[in-house]
Amino acid sequence: MTTRKGPDELSEELVRWLEEEDPFGLNEEIKTITFVCKECREEDDVPDFVVGEFRLDKKKGEEVEIQCPNCGGTMIQARNNPK
68 C-beta neighbours (distance < 10 Å), count: 19
Asked whether residue 47 is domain-assigned, the answer is: yes
Asked whether residue 11 is domain-assigned, the answer is: no
- pLDDT category at 7 given cuts 50, 70, 90 is low
Q: How many domains does the chain have?
A: 1
Asked whether residue 40 is domain-assigned, the answer is: yes
Asked whether residue 16 is domain-assigned, the answer is: no
Asked whether residue 25 is domain-assigned, the answer is: no
Query: What is the per-residue pLDDT across 13-64, written as a single tens digit (0 to 9) for each?
Result: 877 777 777 777 777 788 999 999 999 999 999 999 999 888 888 888 889 9
Asked whether residue 54 is domain-assigned, the answer is: yes
Q: What is the pTM of this model?
A: 0.63
Question: What is the Cβ-side half-sphere exposure of residue 50, based on CA atoms within 13 angstroms?
Answer: 14
Q: Tell me which residue range forms the domain holding 45.
A: 32-77
